[in-house]
């Protein structure tokens, strides 16, 4: 009897506690858990409008909060949004020791809410807030304090915090835009990964105070007003929308930074189960195409049926047809600029109305339309010119970041595009300079032997004759005159030889084997002394200086340079209009091949050695020759590797042939894009510091083993190597530049510091090559470099 009574009591107790739970279904007790497949998969708010739990994400599941019935459109919060989805075996658990954990395997778990205190219970609030409480019913964590891309009525975005858009409706990972509640009181929309500066902003409340910090938070109140409020005294500073509706319990408000970068405010009214209604109340910016970087590099945004779409600029194609926001790349090579500005082929100009962009131009002046067009056409650096309504002609290089088509803009753009049929090669640049090739012995070695012997006999005969003349007849000056004529096969440096055209034609087997094409002309492989000595013969095209005399004088200057890090000039040929140079043959190709193309990435010590060798070579050109030689075209393609992988600089001294007066400015002749110092564009004098700049860019390439411009990267900020490097340098995360390599930190930092000093926009700030060598050798300390572009902006 007694036992029956106890059982009844127990049952009663059990029943009562069960009803208690039903009265407060939103209280989540310790020990409760959810699984993605077994019911329940989520915890509901008391009214059932909001749910917290697992939702389907791709093939797996993620944890988040959403409005019931509209999970796809109203996921208001996602836990650890950038983590991959979890499998169906995962478990979400409020553990007995008061932690909210997501377990994927029995041993593997990750906190959803990181709190030091342990929770006593949790609740899904009817406002859309998931809250953890402690023993004293105090809130110790809530999802409203960690917004992702959404603010709900009653939620705030505090100073210094930001909303980040999602990738898409179905993928809630961090997307491409951010809404920043700045400390200065301004609420601003930016593309992600841009600095907090106005050129990158595409919408702002302009509520900043220049003189003091304003304690402003963004707040969406429960009646749908978006406010900037002073948190210290709760005064409203600005009301962004004009919505001040009466309080209605069946209407919820939701502000979201959409995946296309638009900030939108919605109302959701719940009128019973079948009549829920979603209304768009307010959105900013009004023009969907003003969202910066909605379209990727080299593409522009235009409205098609009120929807923004991306199109490629003339002369470019989408990098990825399936992902048009990744931008476009050129579909032709600039044939007309490859040969230092004087080529027979010339580009077409495609005009386009109503274009606009905010990318800063490198050149700006008032001009007429025709002049603007012409000016760009004649300027090798100009990829596009924009003539605005006030007649400013702004010349620009690609890539363009923020282009858009705006029917209101009274501007006209002139795009330079390639000629039909001049198509870009698909796999990067395949125009190698001097790739290593197999040695082929010349077939008619006997003929060559004869010729060479004959040549040698002739040569010695002439030499004899000359010395005879010298001995018997002529005074010193006359001797010089003969030497200067250069056609007698003698020079001050016995090592430097003058060849006849025929001789070289034979040595190269009729210019049969082309090693590559440089900025001055093609290079052919040849051999002398019955194939014993392999040579590289460069046939110069487009030399301004017609005079044989000056050419030979120049050759002797180059011939006098002897340094182990310079490619040796063995001889030359100046016959009529023909100009050829004979160099020692470099069997291991160029530094560009080694860095960018080979399977074997040179190890760190080798890279440091190469960097130092090149620096010593340039130092010799700048300071140890009779007159400084400015190279003007330092780049990895012009650094060649000999049999022992010693780095040697080639093509030095040649720039002078194309520009007689090196100390002044000149147009038409340029270095190579990407390695050119800013003074090329600024009409300021070219000096040895120009080479220092190019060296700096190349040094960063050597450090990172990647090109200075790389379009096929994951993030747009990685395109330009120098700014990417500076960003990581500033953030003290250099190891990210050399991913997966074990490099001594100090050594890496030193090389990067030297590189950043060399690429300062202001030539005076760049160190001399002597200083560079000393820094690389560790003889002098290296100060922390400023931002390379700081001096010019």
Provide the annotated active-site residues.
Answer: 633
Q: How far apart are CA 610 and CA 641, in angstroms?
A: 10
Candidates 757, 758, 761; CA nearest to 790 is: 761
Per-residue string for binding with ligand NAG, 369-398, x by CB under 6 A?
----xx--x---------------------
Q: Are 412 and 353 in contact (CB under 8 A)?
A: yes
Q: What is the DSSP string of 232-298?
A: TTTEEEEESS---PPP-TTEEEEEEE-TTS-EEEEEEE--STT--EEEEEEEESSSGGGSTTSS-TT
167 binds ligand NAG, rule: CB under 6 A: yes
Kindly tell me the sign of the dihedral angle through the C-alpha atoms of 481, 486, 489, 490.
positive
211 binds ligand NAG, rule: CB under 6 A: no
Q: How far apart are CA 194 and CA 207, in angstroms?
A: 20
Task: Give whichever of 126 and 584 is closer to ligand NAG, judged by the CB atom.
Answer: 126
Per-residue string for binding with ligand NAG, 282-321, x by CB under 6 A?
------------------------------x-xxxx----
Among 19, 430, 577, 683, binds ligand NAG (CB under 6 A): 430
138 binds ligand NAG, rule: CB under 6 A: no
281 binds ligand NAG, rule: CB under 6 A: no
Among 332, 520, 583, 695, binds ligand NAG (CB under 6 A): 332
Task: Give whichever of 250 and 467 is closer to ligand NAG, judged by the CB atom.
Answer: 250
Q: Are 263 and 240 in contact (CB under 8 A)?
A: no
CB of 709 to ligand NAG, least distance (A): 17
Q: Mapping DSSP to helix (H, G, I), strand (E, B) and coil, where does residue 595 land?
A: helix
Specify the stretch interacting with ligand NAG by CB under 6 A; choose among 124-132, 521-529, 586-594, 702-710.
Answer: 124-132
171 binds ligand NAG, rule: CB under 6 A: yes
538 is in an annotated binding site: yes
| Residues 338-357 interacting with ligand NAG (rule: CB under 6 A) | 349, 351
Among 28, 113, 131, 697, binds ligand NAG (CB under 6 A): 131
Q: How many helices (H) and strands (E) does the chain have?
A: 15, 43
Task: Give whichever of 383 and 691 is closer to ligand NAG, judged by the CB atom.
Answer: 383
Tokens representing 435 are 């790739």
Specify the stretch interacting with ligand NAG by CB under 6 A; choose among 120-128, 386-394, 608-616, 762-770.
Answer: 120-128
111 binds ligand NAG, rule: CB under 6 A: no
Q: How far apart are CA 528 and CA 534, in angstroms?
A: 6
Task: Give whichever of 62 and 694 is closer to ligand NAG, judged by the CB atom.
Answer: 62
545 binds ligand NAG, rule: CB under 6 A: no
The DSSP symbol for 642 reads -
129 binds ligand NAG, rule: CB under 6 A: yes
Q: Are 617 and 694 in contact (CB under 8 A)?
A: no
58 binds ligand NAG, rule: CB under 6 A: yes
Shortest Cβ contact with ligand NAG: which residue? 69
Task: Give whichever of 70 and 478 is closer to ligand NAG, judged by the CB atom.
Answer: 70
* Cα→Cα distances 67→126, 149, 283, 400, 596, Å: 10, 15, 21, 40, 51
Length of the chain: 793
214 binds ligand NAG, rule: CB under 6 A: yes
Q: What is the DSSP string of 4-73?
A: HHHHHHHHHHHHHHHHHHHH-TTEEETT-EE-SSSSP-EEEPTTSSEEEEEEEETTEEEEEEEETT-TTT
Quote the radius of gyration of the chain (alpha carbons, Å): 35
Return the H-helix or E-strand segment holding 757. Answer: helix 745-758
CB of 108 to ligand NAG, least distance (A): 19
333 binds ligand NAG, rule: CB under 6 A: no
Among 25, 69, 628, 674, binds ligand NAG (CB under 6 A): 69
CB of 5 to ligand NAG, least distance (A): 43
Helix then strand then coil, % of the chain, to nearest 5: 25, 25, 50
Judged by the rule CB under 6 A, the positions of this chain that interact with ligand NAG are: 48-49, 57-58, 68-70, 72-73, 85, 125-127, 129, 131, 139, 160, 167, 171, 173, 180, 182-183, 195-196, 214-215, 221-223, 225, 227, 230, 232-233, 235-236, 239, 244, 246-248, 250-251, 269-271, 273-274, 276, 312, 314-317, 331-332, 349, 351, 373-374, 377, 418, 423, 427-428, 430, 597
Binding residues: 538
């Amino acid at each position: 009897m007694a036992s029956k009574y106890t059982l009844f009591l127990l049952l009663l107790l059990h029943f009562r506690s069960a009803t208690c739970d039903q009265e407060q279904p939103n209280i989540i007790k310790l020990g409760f858990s959810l699984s993605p497949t077994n019911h329940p998969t989520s915890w509901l708010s008391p009214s059932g409008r909001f749910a917290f739990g697992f939702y389907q994400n791709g093939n797996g599941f993620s944890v988040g909060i959403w409005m019931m019935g509209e999970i796809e459109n109203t996921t208001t919060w996602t836990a650890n949004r950038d983590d991959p989805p979890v499998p169906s075996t995962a478990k979400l658990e409020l553990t007995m020791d008061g932690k909210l954990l997501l377990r994927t395997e029995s041993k593997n778990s990750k906190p959803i809410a990181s709190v030091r205190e342990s929770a006593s219970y949790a609740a899904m609030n009817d406002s859309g807030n998931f809250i953890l409480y402690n023993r004293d019913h105090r809130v110790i964590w809530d999802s409203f304090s960690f917004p992702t891309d959404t603010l709900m009525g009653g939620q705030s975005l505090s100073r210094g915090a930001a909303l980040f858009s999602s990738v898409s409706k179905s993928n809630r990972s961090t997307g491409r835009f951010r809404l920043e509640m700045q400390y200065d009181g301004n609420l601003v929309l930016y593309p992600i990964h841009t600095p907090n500066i106005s050129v990158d902003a595409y919408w702002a409340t302009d509520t900043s105070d220049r003189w003091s910090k304003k304690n402003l938070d963004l707040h969406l109140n429960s009646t749908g007003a978006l406010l900037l409020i002073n948190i210290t005294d709760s005064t409203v500073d600005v009301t962004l929308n004009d919505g001040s509706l009466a309080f209605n319990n069946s209407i919820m408000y939701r502000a979201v930074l959409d995946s296309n970068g638009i900030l939108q405010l919605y109302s959701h009214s719940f009128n019973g189960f079948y009549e829920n209604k979603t209304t768009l109340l307010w959105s900013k910016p009004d023009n969907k195409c003003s969202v910066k970087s909605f379209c990727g590099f080299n593409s522009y945004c235009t409205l098609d049926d009120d929807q923004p779409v991306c199109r490629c600029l003339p002369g470019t194609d989408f990098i990825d047809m399936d992902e048009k926001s990744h931008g476009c790349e050129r579909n032709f090579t600039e044939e007309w600029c490859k040969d230092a500005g004087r080529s027979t082929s010339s580009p077409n100009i495609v005009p386009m109305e109503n274009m606009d962009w905010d990318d800063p131009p490198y050149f700006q002046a008032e001009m007429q339309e025709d002049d603007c067009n012409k000016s760009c056409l004649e300027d090798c650096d100009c990829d596009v010119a924009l003539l605005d309504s006030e007649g400013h002609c702004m010349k620009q290089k690609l890539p363009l970041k923020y282009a858009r088509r705006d029917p209101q803009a009274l501007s006209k753009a002139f795009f330079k595009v390639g000629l039909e049929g001049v198509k870009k090669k698909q796999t990067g640049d395949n125009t190698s300079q001097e790739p290593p090739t197999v040695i082929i012995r010349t077939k008619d070695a006997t003929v060559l032997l004869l010729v060479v012997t004959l040549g040698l006999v002739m040569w010695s005969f002439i030499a004899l004759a000359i010395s005879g003349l010298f001995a018997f007849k002529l005074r010193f000056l006359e001797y010089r005159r003969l030497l200067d004529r250069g056609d007698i096969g003698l020079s001050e440096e016995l090592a430097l030889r003058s060849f006849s055209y025929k001789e070289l034609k034979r040595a190269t087997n009729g210019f049969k084997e082309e090693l590559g094409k440089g900025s001055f002309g093609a290079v052919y492989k040849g051999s002398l002394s019955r194939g014993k000595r392999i040579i590289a013969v460069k046939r110069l095209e487009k030399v301004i200086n017609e005079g044989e005399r000056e050419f030979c004088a120049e050759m002797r200057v180059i011939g006098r340079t002897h340094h182990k890090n310079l490619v040796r000039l063995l001889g030359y040929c100046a016959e009529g209009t023909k100009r050829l140079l004979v160099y020692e043959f470099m069997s291991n190709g160029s530094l560009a091949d080694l860095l960018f193309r080979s399977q074997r990435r040179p190890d760190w010590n080798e890279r440091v050695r190469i960097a130092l060798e090149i620096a010593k070579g340039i130092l010799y050109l700048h300071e140890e020759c009779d007159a400084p030689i400015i190279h003007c075209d330092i780049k990895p393609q012009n650094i060649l590797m000999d049999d022992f992988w010693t780095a040697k600089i080639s093509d030095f001294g040649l720039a002078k042939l194309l520009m007689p007066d090196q100390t002044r400015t000149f147009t038409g002749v340029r270095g190579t894009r990407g390695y050119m110092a800013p003074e090329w564009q600024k009409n300021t004098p070219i000096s040895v510091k120009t080479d220092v700049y190019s060296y700096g860019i190349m040094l960063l390439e050597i450090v990172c083993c990647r090109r200075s411009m790389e379009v096929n990267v994951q993030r747009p900020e990685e395109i330009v190597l120098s700014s990417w490097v500076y960003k990581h340098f500033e953030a003290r995360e250099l190891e990210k530049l050399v991913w997966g390599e074990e490099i001594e930190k100090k050594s890496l930092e030193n090389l990067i510091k030297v590189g950043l000093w060399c690429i300062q926009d202001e030539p005076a700030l760049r160190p001399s090559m002597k200083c560079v060598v000393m820094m690389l050798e560790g003889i002098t300390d290296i100060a922390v470099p400023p931002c390379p572009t700081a001096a010019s902006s």
